[in-house]
Amino acid sequence: MEYPINQDNESIQAKKLMSQLTKAVFWGMDISKLDYIRNKHTIIERIIEAGLENDEIIMWKLYPYEDIKNVALNMENLDEEKVTYMAFVLEVEEKEFKCYGKKPWYKK
């Protein structure tokens, strides 16, 4: 799978982008120790759940559309507003989300 950032400077570019992510989104984690490819699921999920606009911009620079779509569609704890937003952004139907129609654990 091809990643949006330049492969020649991949590590340097990825580390620079990762250092710009909102620290609060990754509570309990040391962002500097996350590998953007190996930990892509966690990074994408955290940004979708709690990221700010800048975090989303970084996410789109780091990961291809299909990776983001795959993670988003398989998330189990998105609230209704996030499902609606991500469906719009990804241009998919809300019912395609695994969590569609379910209340997230933090709203039960």
Q: What is the pLDDT of residue 106?
A: 59
Listed in sequence order, the DSSP H helices in 1-99 are 10-19, 40-50, 53-62, 65-74, 80-90
Residue range 33-87, pLDDT digits in tens: 888 999 999 999 999 999 999 999 999 999 999 999 999 999 988 888 999 999 9
Question: Is 88 a residue whose pLDDT tops 60?
Answer: yes
SS3 34: coil
Which region holds residue 104: left if phi is over 0, alpha if psi is between -120 and 50, else beta? beta
